[in-house]
Amino acid sequence: MPDASLPLALALALTMGDPAGIGPEITAGAWRAMRQGATPFAVLGDAGLIGQHDVPVREIATIAQAAEVFAHAVPVLPVDLLVAAHAGQPDSRNAPAITASIARAVELARNGQAAGVVTNPISKIVLKKAGFPYPGHTEYLAALCDVPGREVMMLACPELRVVPITIHVSLRRALDELDTSAIIAATRTTHAALQRDFGIAAPRIAIAGLNPHAGEDGSMGTEEQTIIAPAIAILRADGMDISGPWPPDTMFTPPARARYDVAMCMYHDQALIPLKTIDMTQGVNTTLGLPIIRTSPDHGTAFDIAGRGVADPSSLVAALRMAMQMAEHRNRS
Please enumerate, by residue number, every residue annotated as part of a binding site for substrate.
Answer: 137-138, 276, 285, 294
Q: Which residues are annotated as part of the binding site? A: 137-138, 168, 213, 268, 276, 285, 294
Q: Which residues are annotated as part of the binding site for a divalent metal cation? A: 168, 213, 268
Nearest residue to 267 (alpha-carbon basis) of 159, 182, 204, 192? 182
**Cα of 24 vs its chain's centroid, Å:** 18
The span from the CA of 143 to the CA of 215, in Å, is: 36
The span from the CA of 93 to the CA of 100, in Å, is: 13
Phi, psi torsion values for 64, nearest 5 degrees: -65, -20
Separation in Å, CA 193 to CA 136, 188, 198, 209, 280: 21, 9, 7, 23, 22
The span from the CA of 68 to the CA of 293, in Å, is: 22
Nearest residue to 28 (alpha-carbon basis) of 52, 63, 61? 52
* Torsional sign, CA 210, 268, 327, 133: positive
The span from the CA of 70 to the CA of 11, in Å, is: 9
With contact defined as beta carbons under 8 Å apart, do 243 and 206 qualify? yes
